Chains A and B, each alone.
Chain A
C-alpha cells in the first residue's frame, strides 16, 4: 500500500486559521489535506490448511481498513500518515522538498518510510488489482519484500531530455518488521510465527530505489541490504496432507515449532521490474532475488549453511475491457538453494537443498460504482523441495496448493 490516491476521490480540506489581536488579522493558510481510506472485506479458501497460521476449513474471512492522510503545507513541506487495522502506525513521515527548477526536485523524508514506486509496489484496493493475500502468493511475495524503515530517505526527481524521467530514492535507517509482513522464508516451507517474531537491527539498513520512465515504459530497480538480530519461533506451515514423496523428509520438516535465534543475519534483496503499456494492455516482467549469508552453525536444527539464494521471475498482463473492468493474470516461478556447497563438494558431510515452485494466477477487478471495488482472484502453486547432493540418491517432496479469494472494498 504505497500508492495512495489512484482511483480515489481526494477529499480536500483547506484549513485557514485566523489569529486575531486588536489591530492585525493574520490569515494563515495551513495547506491542503487529502484524506483517503478503504474498508475491505476479504475472504479466501485454500487447500493449504495452515496457510499463514490460519485455518481455512470454512474459508478465511478478514476485515481490513485503512486511512491515509496527506497534508501538503506548501510546495516545500508535506506530511503523510498511513494507518491500518493491522498497523496503527504503518508509516508516516515529514518531507521537505526543493524544486531546483520545473524539471528537477530534491527532497528528504524523515520518519517511517516505505518504497512507494515500482511495479507491484501498491497492493490492494488503492492501486493495482490484486487482493491482500497471505505471503507466499505471487506477486504478493514480491510486492511486500521491502518493509518499512525508520530513518531518512533522500530522493531526486528529474527528467532527462524529451523522453526519460528519473526518480531515485535512497534510504538509510532501521528496518521495521511488523506482524502483517512477518518474516518470510523463501524456502517456502517454514515461517517464523508472526506473534513470536522479534527483530533487533543493530546495523542500519540501506535501500535504493530507481524508477526510469520513458513514456509507455517503466523500469524499476530496488536493492536493499539489511542485517538484523532475529529471534522467533520457527514454524513450519506446510500441511502434511499436501506432501507426497519422501516421508522421511516430510517427517523432518512437518509440524515443527522451535525457538530460533540468529544474530547478525544479513540479507540482500534485488528487484527489477519492467512494464510496458499498450493502449488497454499492460505487460509486466519482474525479477526478484534474495540472498542470505548467515554464519553457519551446524549444531542448530535450522542451519541452512552459509548461503541461501532464491530468485525467480513473474510475468503478468493486465487488460482493461471497459471503464470498470480489468482482467489480469500471470505466471511466476522461483528456485532457491540453501546449504554449504563448499562443504558438500569438499567434505561431503552436508547436503545442499533446492526448493522450487511455479504458480499461475488470474483475477478480475470490477468497479460497480466509483467507490466500490470487487476483486475475484485465483492462484495455483506447485513446488518441491529436494536434496541436491551428488553423493546421495535424490529424494523429493512435492507439494501444491490452490487459493481463491474475493474482496469487496469501499474506497474513498
Chain B
C-alpha cells in the first residue's frame, strides 16, 4: 500500500521543477522564440550576441541550487559539476557580457528586465506579473 501511494505521489508530482521551468528573456533581445539548440548555445556561452546585435547577458540561480540543476537537466543536458567548471572557465572569456548569479526569482526578473540582452529561467508561473517587467517568456520550438 505504501509503495502504491509512493508511486501515486511520484506520478502526481512528476519533475518538481522541470515541468514548470520557463525561459525568460528581455524584450529588447527580440528573442521570444528560440530552439532548444539556441538555448543550449546561449547558456553554455557559445553564442554571446542576439541576432539584433545586442550582447547576451546570462542570468542564473546559484550553480548548485535545485532550480539551476533542474534547468541544466531540462535544457542543457549537462551535470552541475561540469557546468560549474565550464562556467568558471568561460566567465572571463569576454565573448559577451559576464554572466550574473542571482538568488531569488524576483532578483532574476529584475536583472533580466534591466539588461537588454538578459536571459534567465524561472520555475514559477509569472504570467500574472509579466506586465511589470520588460520580459518575454520564450516560446521554445
Asked if A pairs with B, the answer is yes
Binding site for B on A (CB under 8 A): 2-10, 12, 14, 32, 34, 70, 72, 75, 78, 80, 95, 97, 99, 101-103, 105, 107, 116-119, 121-122, 127-128, 155, 157, 159, 162, 165, 167, 211, 213, 215-216, 218, 275-282, 318, 320, 323-324, 326, 367, 370
Residues on A with beta carbons closer than 8 Å to the beta carbon of B95: 97, 99, 105, 157
Bound-state CA distance A359–B98 (Å) is: 37
Contact A116 B101 (CB under 8 A): no
B91 contacts the other chain (Cβ, under 8 Å)? yes
Answer whether A280 and B81 are a contact pair too, CB < 8 Å, given A101-B49, A103-B47: yes
Q: Output the nearest chain A residue to B57 by Cβ-Cβ distance.
A: A32
Instruction: For A159, list chain B residues within 8 Å (CB).
Output: 46
Q: A117-B89, A155-B93, A324-B64 are contacts. A102–B79 as well, Cβ < 8 Å?
A: no
A7-B81 in contact (CB<8A):
no
Whether A4 contacts B103 by the Cβ 8 Å rule is no
* Minimal Cβ-Cβ distance residue in B for A107: B94
Count of interface residues, chain B, beta-carbon cutoff 8 Å: 44
| 8 A Cβ contacts from B39-87 to A | 44, 46-51, 55, 62-66, 69, 77-87
Determine whether the beta carbon of A275 is less than 8 Å from that of B85: yes
In the complex, are the beta carbons of B93 and A105 less than 8 A apart? Answer: yes
Residue of A nearest to B87 (CB): A6
**Given A6-B88, A117-B89, A72-B97 contact (CB < 8 Å):** yes
Say yes or no: B94 contacts A105, CB within 8 Å. yes
A12 and B114 CA atoms in complex are apart in Å by 11
Of A99, A320, A326, A367, the residue contacting B49 (CB under 8 A) is A99
| Cβ-defined contact, A218 with B93, below 8 A | no
Q: Is A10 in contact with B65, judged by CB distance below 8 angstroms?
A: no
Residues of A within 8 A of B102 (CB): 9
Knowing A6-B84, A10-B101, A119-B85 touch, does A167 contact B63 (C-beta < 8 A)?
A: no
Interface-centre pick from B44, B79, B82, B96 (highest chain A CB count, 10 A) = B82
In angstroms, Cα B36 to Cα A162, docked, is 13
- B99 at interface by CB-CB < 8 Å: yes
**B85 CB → nearest A CB, Å:** 6
Closest 5 CB pairs of A and B: A277-B82, A3-B88, A117-B89, A282-B81, A105-B95
- B84: chain A residues within 8 A (beta carbon): 6-7
